[in-house]
Structure 1
Amino acid sequence: MEKKIRIAIQKSGRLHDDSMRLLKECGIDAGNSRNQLRVAATNFPAEIFFLRDDDIPEYVQDGVADIGFVGENVVLEKNKKVNTVEKLGFGKCRLSLAIPANKRIRSAEDLAGKKIATSYPHILSGYLKKKKIKADIHTISGSVEIAPRIGLADAICDLVSSGNTLFSNELTELETILQSEAVIISNNDLSPALQKILHKLLFRIQSVKRSRNNKYVLLNAPNEKLDAICGLLPGMRSPTVLPLAEPGWSSVHSVITETDFWNIIEQLKQQGAEGILVIPIEKMIL
Structure 2
Amino acid sequence: MKLKIAVQKSGRLNEDSLQLLKDCGISIDNGQDQLKAEAKNFPIEIYYLRNGDIPQYLKDGVVDCAIIGENVLVEKGNGITISSALGFSKCRVSLAIPKGSTYKNISDFKGKRIATSYPETTKNYLAKFGIEADLHIINGSVEIAPNIGLADAICDIVSSGSTLFKNNLKEVEVIMKSEAVLAVSPTISTDMEQILGKLQFRIQSVLKGRDSRYVLLNAPNNKLAEITAILPGMKSPTILPLAEEGWSSIHSVVNQEKFWEVIDQLKEAGAEGILVCPIEKMVL
Task: Classify the TM-score, shorter chain.
Answer: over 0.9
Which of 47, 69, 73 is 2:45 aligned to? Answer: 47
Give the deviation of 1:106 after TM superposition: 2.3
**2: distance between equivalents of 1:67 and 1:73?**
16
Alpha-carbon offset, residue 130 of structure 1: 0.7
Q: 1:58–1:80: 8 Å Cα contact kept in structure 2?
A: no
Q: What corresponds to 1:176 in structure 2?
A: 174
Give the whole-Å Cα distance in 2 for the aligned partners of 1:152 and 1:133. Answer: 20
In the aligned structure 2, how far is the partner of 1:134 from the partner of 1:262? 47
Matches within 5 A, 1:66-77: 66-77=64-75
Does residue 84 of the first structure (1) align with residue 82 of the second (2)?
A: yes
Corresponding residue for 1:110? Answer: 108
SS at match of 2:29: coil
Post-superposition shift, 1:33?
Answer: 3.8
Contact (CA 8 Å) 1:116, 1:137: kept in 2 or not? yes
Report the CA distance between 1:259 and its aligned residue. 1.1
Cross-structure match for 2:238: 240
Q: Deviations over 1:142-166 (max 9, x none)?
A: 1111111111111100110010110
Mapping 1:1-286, distance limit 5 Å: 3-286=1-284
Give yes or no for contact 1:116–1:138 (8 Å, CA) kept in 2. Answer: yes
- Give distance in 2, aligned partners of 1:274 and 1:105: 53
**Number of equivalences:** 284
For residue 131 of structure 1, report the CA deviation from its aligned partner.
1.3
**CA offsets 1:53-76 (integer angstroms, 9 cap, x no match):** 101110011011111111111111
CA distance in 2, matches of 1:168, 1:55: 29
Q: CA deviation at 1:243?
A: 1.0
* Distance (whole Å) between structure 1 residues aligned to residue 133 and residue 204 of structure 2: 42
- State how far apart, in whole Å, the 2-side matches of 1:80 and 1:113 are: 27
1:81 Cα offset (Å): 2.8
Contact 1:57–1:78 (Cα < 8 Å) also in 2: yes
Letter in 2 for 1:46: I
Q: Distance in 2 between matches of 1:46 and 1:248?
A: 54
Instruction: Identify the range of structure 1 (232-241 vs 258-267) with the bigger mean alpha-carbon deviation.
Output: 258-267
Write the distance in 2 (CA, Å) between the matches of 1:82 and 1:143: 28
How far is 1:32 from its partner? Answer: 3.2
**Unaligned regions of 5+ residues in structure 1, if any?**
none
**Alpha-carbon distance in structure 2 between the residues aligned to 1:193 and 1:49:** 19
- Counterpart contact for 1:70–1:184, Cα < 8 Å: yes
Paired residue type of 1:270: E
In structure 2, how many angstroms separate the alpha carbons of the residues matched to 1:229 and 1:153? 59
Contact 1:29 1:43 in 2 (8 A): yes
Q: Which amino acid aligns with 1:63?
A: G
Q: Distance in 2 between matches of 1:46 and 1:221?
A: 47
CA-CA distance at 1:129 after TM superposition: 0.5
C-alpha deviation, 1:141, in angstroms = 1.1
Shift of 1:270: 1.3
Aligned counterparts of 2:73 and 2:31: Cα–Cα separation in 1: 24
Measured after TM superposition, the shift of residue 274 of structure 1 is 1.0
Q: Which runs of 4+ in 1 moved over 6 A?
A: none
Q: TM-score, normalised by structure 1?
A: 0.97
Q: Secondary structure at the match of 2:146?
A: coil
Amino acid at match of 2:153: A
**Please, what TM-score do these two structures have when normalized by structure 2?**
0.98
The answer on whether the counterparts of 1:106 and 1:174 sit within 8 Å (CA) in structure 2 is no
Q: CA RMSD in A?
A: 0.9
Distance 1:174 1:31 in 2: 44
